[in-house]
Amino acid sequence: MRLVFAREGEAAGLAAFLQRLLRYDRAAAVRLQASSEALAVFGRAPALDVIVVRTARLAEAAELDVTVSAGELLESFDAAGATVPAAVTGSAWAGLLPPRSGWIPHPGLPPAADLRGAVGAAVAEFKSRVEILPEDKRTRSELDRIGADIWGRTLGDTPLPLRAAHAAHVFGLLSPDAEATLLTSGPWLRLRTPYGSVAVRRTGGLPGLSVSPV
């Protein structure tokens, strides 16, 4: 199946998203969902306990719901679109996606520029706390503990953890000139920007993930 994007630059944006995902996990899979002219690409952000969603507009209507190799999908990209590769057996997270509807706005989220500032400060804090540890104390469990302390903090007057904003920044969704909004649906929180979303469950987390920052 061939996907043709409606706007110039859509292919490049999605390709960059896949490249970032593959830096985390060379064997990454993504779930593709298309309805009419809207395409959503879902990926797991390892260590941050979130699902990242990159969206695009299609030039032609399509109906699709399949999990594929992120690497194979990336290899199929050209300037106008991509070819959907063969389906793969997805990880547990691919069967636990946020809902398509039922989202309601949640107030209290800081402006996008402040979110980026909070992420930068948190990254600096993590590095400084790790640097002062003796070498024999820099264990995976200790790094996870520091990461959980920092990235579990909430943003503004919301329940959204800082790791969601970090994921949005890492995956190119958090632009200083485009506002972000917070939505909720059941146990899910969704940080939405014009370029896509980051979704996180308030309880339970996602299967098979840790909270070590990267």
Residues 65 and 124 in one domain: no
Residues 111 and 179 in one domain: yes
| pLDDT given at position 92 | 78
Quote the CA–CA distance of 198 and 204 in Å, as a whole number: 16
| Interval 120-177: pLDDT, tens | 999 999 999 999 999 888 899 999 899 889 999 999 889 999 999 999 988 888 877 7
Residues 197 and 108 in one domain: yes
Q: What is the DSSP string of 102-142?
A: --EE-S-PPPHHHHHHHHHHHHHHHHHHHHTS-GGG--HHH
CA distances from 214 to 57, 130, 135, 166, 172 (A): 30, 12, 18, 10, 15
Boundary-marking domain end, from 69, 95, 121? 95
| Interval 66-119: pLDDT, tens | 999 999 999 999 888 889 999 998 677 878 888 888 999 999 998 888 888 999
Residues 73 and 114 in one domain: no
> How would residue 214 be classed by pLDDT, with cut points 50, 70 and 90?
very low
CB atoms within 10 A of CB 137: 10
Boundary-marking domain end, from 95, 117, 140? 95
In a domain, 213, yes or no: no
Residues 46 and 123 in one domain: no
Boundary-marking domain end, from 41, 60, 95? 95
Residues 132 and 86 in one domain: no
Residues 130 and 194 in one domain: yes
Residues 108 and 197 in one domain: yes
In a domain, 115, yes or no: yes
Residues 118 and 193 in one domain: yes
Residues 54 and 124 in one domain: no
Residues 84 and 116 in one domain: no
In a domain, 211, yes or no: no
| pLDDT given at position 113 | 84
| Interval 26-53: pLDDT, tens | 889 999 999 888 899 999 877 778 899 9
Residues 89 and 110 in one domain: no
Mean pLDDT on 15-30: 90
| Interval 183-208: pLDDT, tens | 999 999 999 988 889 999 886 444 43
Q: Which domain holds residue 9?
A: 2-95
| pLDDT given at position 208 | 38
